[in-house]
Amino acid sequence: MAKPPRNPASGILFVDKPQGITSHGVIARARASVGTRKIGHAGTLDPMATGLLVLGANNATRLLTYFVGLDKQYLATIRLGASSNTDDAEGELSPAADAAAIAAISDEAIAAAVAGLTGPIMQRPSSVSAIKVDGKRAYTLARSGEEVVLAERAVTISVFDILEIERAEFIDVRVRVDCSSGTYIRALARDLGGVLGVGGHLTALRRTRVGPFEVSRASVLDDDLAGQLVSPAAVAGELFESVELDDQSAFELSRGRQVPLGAVGTGPIAVVNSVGRLIGLAEVVDGRTRILSNFPADAVAVSQEGEPSDG
């Protein structure tokens, strides 16, 4: 089988991950579709989960680190009445809670428990998370039979809305969660069931937003993903304040020389040249410009733009 031609184009790729495939499976598909081995991610989803994955191709992988700390939004279904050793439906379920105890839980009690898990909270990550323990992933230790109890960490649940409650043998609570980076929705399901005394686990999860980027703009795996790359300049412009420099100034800044950026705010600044290509991310400290990350031009961009003089 012939290898696809190497595609040197850089860009951010927003993909709507389907259920049943790993995030690394999505990355493999993206590599084949885009035509490059250099594709990274800004955070994975479990195989059970669907929704927004943020990938970077070629030089745009340098932007991915700025996605990791962004807040996220999820739609989820929490099943009350049984726990799971993985805190989700893919694990081994505990015996169901007493039917009378499940039936006795009112909508008001669920709402009160949800309110108690809203705002700044301490959360113990799931034992099958990707957090490293003594150099090994927690999920590797847990699935090998070791008992894993991770330390609590501070997270913020800014929105925890109940969308629907369905009652049968169990209670299924459909929710929307807006949360800080590092929040585990499986752990939220576990803790909601714990507060109500009947156990709980996650049965469905969909990531609908990362920072300002909604899943509605995402491509599906069957798309020609090479044509769906979003330019680094466009993405950086949604994340940060942008400054356009003339080509000579942009070139000098990319070489680490001091170039005034004018009146700018705090935090990273996206610096673009006259044709809108992202030159780098910079910051101004005590009046001096400091490059945080350079974004070298792709071969195609160099041939189109040429290079200003370095003399």
Query: What pLDDT score was predicted for residue 86?
Result: 87
Structure tokens belonging to residue 254: 């990319």
- Mean pLDDT of the region 46-67: 95
Give φ, ψ of 261 to 5 degrees: -105, 0
| First CA to last CA distance, the chain | 48
- Mean pLDDT of the region 281-300: 82
- Mean pLDDT of the region 210-231: 95
- Cα 293 to the center of its chain, rounded Å: 20
Tokens 């989820």 correspond to what residue? 76
Structure tokens belonging to residue 234: 């466009």
Sign of the four-CA dihedral 72, 76, 79, 82: negative
The mean of the pLDDT values for the chain is: 88
39: left (phi over 0), alpha (psi -120 to 50) or beta: beta
Whether 309 has a pLDDT exceeding 50, the answer reads no
Q: Which domains does the chain have, with CATH numbers?
A: 11-70+212-228 (3.30.2350.10), 72-209 (3.30.2350.10), 232-305 (2.30.130.10)
Residue 141 Cα distances to 21, 131, 135, 152, 205, angstroms: 22, 11, 11, 18, 24
Whether 264 has a pLDDT exceeding 90, the answer reads no
Query: What pLDDT score was predicted for residue 284?
Result: 85
Among the listed ranges 45-49, 160-164, 295-299, 301-305, which one has the minimum average pLDDT value?
301-305
DSSP, collapsed to helix, strand or coil, labels residue 102 as helix
Query: What pLDDT score was predicted for residue 2?
Result: 46
- Mean pLDDT of the region 225-249: 93
- 46, 87, 88, 178: which is the annotated catalytic residue? 46
Burial class (CB in 10 A: 0-12, 13-18, 19+), 25: middle
Closest CA to 109 of 33, 69, 47, 162: 162
246 tagged catalytic: no
pLDDT over 70 percentage in the chain:
87
Query: What pLDDT score was predicted for residue 17?
Result: 97
Query: What pLDDT score was predicted for residue 148?
Result: 65
Query: What pLDDT score was predicted for residue 310?
Result: 47
Whether 114 has a pLDDT exceeding 90, the answer reads yes
Whether 20 has a pLDDT exceeding 60, the answer reads yes
Please check whether residue 26 is in contact with residue 49, taking contact to mean a CB–CB distance below 8 angstroms. no
Query: What pLDDT score was predicted for residue 298?
Result: 75
